[in-house]
Copies of this chain bind each other. A is one copy, B any other.
């Protein structure tokens, strides 16, 4: 491995740049960019980056390094020493360095860090001298080093199993607690230099005692130990678990950054902070951040002290009393403000930056694309597009469908909220609302959620070990930490409702209780969170849709529509569905399921008549029932056609699961028998004859229309007559009749003959030509194969991917519970094929269907109306496959519009 393995940065120069993320990791590449780019040359503490190739080599060679590495490191280190005017291990003017991970994609808190590397018995005196005799500072740094190093390097990376579940860090913390108690103090900061010095001695003894090894007293040993620990942490449990969720490949590896330490905790002229060029919680375009005076970076992220706002725009109820950076350090704030401006312009995206002020000097420690929640992503993309900072394509790619989905999540009903006093207020760390039963640890959250319970994970503060529980919970509530704490960071990334820093609450994980004043909540009690406001309520408050709020969403989707070519329709059966979907931008109905009108409120009489029709045994009985049913059916169809006027409405001929419509209720059975004028035993016999072994592949869809043509006839009448009447009223209607469960062109022809006859009759009766298209579902594998023939007759295809997936896999969706979990767990399937189209199998059938259909009928209109029509990955596939439109539930319409636009942009790449 003779290549360059170490990349230097600092002093206005850098070996790497921002484009080298795969090699240098995100952090390393950005440090190089900030330090070395001619337009930036920002004050970055110098350092160097071990490439991800080293990580790969490390794992492929039994955790050994290539022999050329040492030389490259020593050269880079010399460069750092030169700039800093200090030397690692130098007794007089010692350099301290940090060792941090930095993967291609940010994995916040998932890997290890070691700070203050270089403090040894040899360098401590020099360090004290260099800090103007600040012995307390140095020993505090030393005890932090021992705690961190013994934990990260000597225990975790070495694979030492902690005894009795008590890791070395906890043991050292216990020693510190004993010390604090013996000194009668509460805070670490109250311990004296002497205290800390003696603590360091006890720490080192404890380390030797517990881990059986001396704490290393050599600066290079420390540095290499740190580097190896970071590489090792790539395969730590937390990191692996996070990668699984975020779908980050294991083979990427991490880079490691070794950087000169600067200290924000060198006194009141020092500080450290985290900031965003725009507000990551709502997209507000003003500079936003938090900082702590006399603190190290980890203090901000850990959330142990409540940070101050950097400026007025960052103020909230929670931190209104704290001095802003703008006021406390006006000159440095201005410098920082200018830097962030330049950074955002340079990167053309919102930046998440870390800075430290050491004795009045500003250092930039990190910059990266800032994570944001959905509402913020939409706002920023729209604003930046309006500011002409980004192109239309960029704006579209800045918002993921999942982020858009957050805007469509429920929020706590504002009316109910107005009437309810919150139990407590915290920081609004994740948007939307959520109700759930409280649980106090990650394992419980996972277990309860698996049982189908909705839970809220409540923690004093979260840490990376809580990842799985946070995932499983509806929302997260913590008592400590700020907007950049672990909980806030993770929740924001997932668009999950989250309230942090709710310090009024006394959360006791041991007794599983939350106390505030005289209110005590126990495990399993319901709470409701408003993550947009940061409020916590006792009990279960009603939720409403957030989707109808805000024109930003509408503006953003208008940007998407500039690029989108795929039509977006909705699935719906009522005028209300149609109106809602139009609001969201639907361009018609792609699936109106006639049988759905028999579900839900107010459908009792219609359902009764449907049952009567189903239980009819003779043509005459059936015709009577159909005639009675007719007005009900027509009314829903007409209302929906009206509400969707101007757009096409695809109405699918009835495809009911017959046996499901047989009533079980004695009274209803009697009424039915009475209406059919038959006795109960006869009715039971008829009901029994409707029972099928495999109803999914039984007497359904077009098969019903073939055996009972009068059912098709009645539906065609209801549809076409409704349209004719609306046309008379001057409305523009475009009904499309869709034949379901087709497997041959012969079926289509059979049904088409009936529909065309009815069509001609009604045209004649009304003296108008009702525009009408007749097409088919393609949901049976055979239909896809013989699509060429079907398209000779059918005017449109709509892929019913739910059934197509069922038949292609031979998976009954109702019965997969017995084996699908095993399949996903064993990775026999990468995904639930009912969530996202299986490209290999189902996808090929769709492709075949489209190719063959279009070959015989160039004008064939093709869409999808299965639930996949609202799934972004599936929409991308539909675009590539050449469909004309997708159809999904009203709430998925915005997502579909975005996904369709993104598909175009991605297609151009």
Contacts and interface: CB of A to CB of B under 8 A. Distances in A.
A806 interface: yes
Q: How large is the interface on A (under 10, 10 to 19, 20 to 34, 35 or more residues)?
A: 35 or more
A593 to B, nearest CB: 18
A838 B744 CA distance: 11
A827 B806 CA distance: 27
A826 B785 contact: no
Contacts of A838: 782
A822 interface: yes
A707 interface: yes
Given A785-B841, A808-B807, A819-B699, A814 B780 contact: no
A780 B809 CA distance: 6
Given A809-B782, A815-B699, A841-B785, A744 B829 contact: yes
Interface string A839-863: 0111011000000000000000000
Nearest to A748: B828
A687 to B, nearest CB: 14
A741 B814 CA distance: 18
A619 to B, nearest CB: 13
A841 B743 contact: yes
A758 B342 CA distance: 66
Given A696-B694, A780-B810, A744 B818 contact: no
A818 B658 CA distance: 12
Nearest to A842: B782
Interface string A739-761: 00101101100100000000000
A811 interface: yes
Contacts of A217: none
A361 interface: no
A819 B786 CA distance: 21
Given A692-B812, A694-B814, A697-B811, A841 B706 contact: no
Nearest to A841: B782
A697 B804 CA distance: 13
A695 interface: yes
Interface in A656-705: 692-699, 703-704
A630 to B, nearest CB: 24
Nearest to A658: B818
Contacts of A823: 703, 706
A809 B743 contact: yes
Given A746-B829, A808-B782, A810-B741, A698 B815 contact: yes
A743 B781 contact: no
Contacts of A741: 810
A750 B693 contact: no
Contact of A695 (B693, B779, B780): B693
Nearest to A742: B810
Interface string A775-805: 0000111100110000000000000000100
A786 B744 CA distance: 24
A878 B782 CA distance: 19
B781 A826 contact: no
B818 A810 contact: no
B695 A815 contact: yes
A591 to B, nearest CB: 18
A841 B747 CA distance: 15
B810 A693 contact: no
Contacts of A744: 828-829
A742 to B, nearest CB: 10
A703 B819 contact: yes
A780 B844 CA distance: 14
Nearest to A806: B697
Contact of A785 (B698, B806, B844): B844
Contact of A746 (B819, B828, B842): B828
Q: Please provide the 3 A-B residue pairs with the shortest distance between their CB atoms, ordered closest to farther.
A: A694-B812, A699-B818, A782-B841
29 contacts: A692-B812, A692-B815, A692-B818, A693-B695, A694-B695, A694-B696, A694-B697, A694-B812, A695-B812, A695-B815, A696-B812, A697-B697, A698-B818, A699-B819, A703-B818, A706-B826, A743-B811, A746-B827, A746-B829, A747-B828, A750-B828, A780-B809, A781-B808, A781-B845, A782-B809, A782-B810, A782-B838, A803-B810, A807-B810
Given A703-B818, A703-B823, 5 more contacts: A707-B822, A779-B810, A780-B808, A782-B842, A785-B844
